[in-house]
């Protein structure tokens, strides 16, 4: 299985900050990388697909980049509703997709 | 509006069985690939099973192979997960999720069904 490693595991930031979350794959996955947001007690929500494409309805302050093994999710000008846990997912080996362990974004 | 609603979760003893259902609405269910993803308490996301539009292609995670069975009824717009020989480590919230049309990502998720395996 392809292993996905996110860093950091947790992050504290303030409203208005810019934050970056990193995801690394154990082998090259081209651009087959997706990002999800999960608020407490809620289902995951798709934010970014194929590394850099913004899902419809997702605010433009979210962006993704990367290819091969290294990827980033950037959130500009953090809003209160952005404090959640973020997961990367590789879909290179669909249907056997794997997720990162998650990055918990907390309010400082 | 696309909706996925899971049901059938609950408390079951180790070795027992449970059947989860996922009722789909707001889209042409028969034209979408579906899968199940689970999340143990306080943990991350784990893919469980995958089923193609016409049920001709089915895959399972190694952790559930031989114990879980995925199925769908396109006439009833429903997805199922039959879980047998349940173990404590199967305790999780189980989400059904849709693959976007022609895509390799899950664009809609249900709210989840909690399965607790405990004596």
pLDDT per residue over B78-115, tens digit each?
A: 999 999 999 999 999 999 999 988 889 999 999 999 99
Q: Is the CB of residue B61 less than 8 Å away from at least one CB of chain A?
A: yes
Q: Is the CB of residue A34 less than 8 Å away from at least one CB of chain B?
A: yes
> If you measure CA to CA, which chain A residue comes closest to B52?
A95
Closest CA to B53 of B76, B70, B72: B72
Distances (CA, A) of B108 to A7, B26, B98, B100: 26, 11, 5, 8
Residues of A with CB below 8 A from B44's CB? 87, 99-102
Q: Is the CB of residue A44 less than 8 Å away from at least one CB of chain B?
A: yes
- Over residues A62-95, the pLDDT tens digits come to 999 999 999 999 999 999 999 999 999 999 999 9
Do the Cβ atoms of A32 and B104 come within 8 Å? yes
> How much of chain A exceeds pLDDT 70, in percent?
100
**b/e map A4-43, b = 16+ CB within 10 Å:** bebeeeebebeeeeebebbbbbeeebebbbbbbbbeeeeb
Closest CA to A5 of A29, A32, A25: A25
> How much of chain B exceeds pLDDT 90, in percent?
97
Matching residue, tokens 């194929």:
A50
Chain B contact probe: residue of A37, A88, A94, A103 with most B CBs at under 10 A: A94
* Whether pLDDT at B1 is above 90: yes
Confidence at residue A108, expressed as pLDDT on a 0 to 100 scale: 86
Among A44, A98, A100, beta carbon nearest to B109: A44
Confidence at residue B101, expressed as pLDDT on a 0 to 100 scale: 83
Per-residue pLDDT, averaged over B70-80, amounts to 98
Reading the block at residue A82, the tokens are 């952005």
Q: How far is B43 from chain A (nearest CA, A)?
A: 8
CA distance B97 to B50: 10
CA distance A82 to B60: 33
């Amino acid at each position: 299985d392809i292993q996905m490693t996110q860093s950091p595991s947790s992050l504290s930031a303030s409203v208005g900050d810019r934050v970056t979350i990193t995801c690394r794959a154990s082998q090259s996955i081209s651009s087959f990388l997706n990002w999800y947001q999960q608020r407490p007690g809620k289902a995951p929500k798709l934010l970014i697909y194929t590394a850099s494409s913004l899902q419809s309805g997702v605010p433009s302050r979210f962006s993704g980049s990367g290819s091969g093994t290294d990827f980033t999710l950037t959130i500009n000008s953090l809003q209160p509703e952005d404090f959640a846990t973020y997961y990367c997912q590789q879909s290179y080996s669909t249907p056997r997709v794997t997720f990162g362990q998650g990055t918990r974004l907390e309010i400082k | 509006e696309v909706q996925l609603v899971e049901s059938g979760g609950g408390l079951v003893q180790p070795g027992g069985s449970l059947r989860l259902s996922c009722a789909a609405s707001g889209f042409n269910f028969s034209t979408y690939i579906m899968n199940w993803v689970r999340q143990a308490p306080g943990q991350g996301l784990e893919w469980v099973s995958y089923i193609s539009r016409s049920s001709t292609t089915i895959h399972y995670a190694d952790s559930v192979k031989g114990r879980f069975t995925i199925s769908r009824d396109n006439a009833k717009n429903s997805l199922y997960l039959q879980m047998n020989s349940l173990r404590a480590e199967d305790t999780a919230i189980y989400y059904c999720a849709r693959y976007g049309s022609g895509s390799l990502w899950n664009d809609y998720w249900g709210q989840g069904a909690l399965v607790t395996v405990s004596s």
